[in-house]
Amino acid sequence: MSDQAKDKFTYAHSKFCVGEAGKTGSWRTQRPQIDHAKCTPSKNQRPSCFICWLYCPEAVVSRTIPVQIDYDYCKGCGVCAEECPVGVVKMLDEKEAP
């Protein structure tokens, strides 16, 4: 719980293992895309929000500025997009994503 000392408002109660379900194969149909110009931590240039990090079931969202997603392990579930309070995480079709 050392994260609690760093930020008393946003921390995980347990330790995640990145990509606990393994690497994502070619079956993913959508991937999240973050608009960093509107993302709260990027916009404010300070640790804030990180709701996408908190709710990601695969722990592939970083708690950094800017927020990054490890697409090698992202399953494309869309939880981050659903939970984003600002609505800056959009799910794109895998074929259209950059």
CATH number of 93's domain: 3.30.70.20
Do the domain assignments include residue 19? no
Within 8 A by CB and 6+ apart from 37, the residues are 43
For CA atoms 12, 13, 15, 18, the dihedral sign is negative
pLDDT at 90: 96
Do the domain assignments include residue 22? no
pLDDT at 1: 44
DSSP letter, residue 70: -
Do the domain assignments include residue 1? no
pLDDT at 9: 64
Do the domain assignments include residue 39? yes
Do the domain assignments include residue 27? no
What is the band of 27 on the pLDDT scale with cuts at 50, 70, 90? Answer: confident
Mean pLDDT, range 15-44, rounded to an integer: 85
pLDDT at 43: 92
Question: Total structural domains in the chain?
Answer: 1
Do the domain assignments include residue 24? no
Within 8 A by CB and 6+ apart from 32, the residues are 52, 69, 74, 76, 78, 80, 81, 89, 90, 91, 92
Q: Which residue has the higher pLDDT, 20 or 69?
A: 69
**Chain-centre distance of CA 92, in angstroms?**
15
Range of the domain at 40: 32-98
Do the domain assignments include residue 86? yes
What is the reported pTM? 0.75
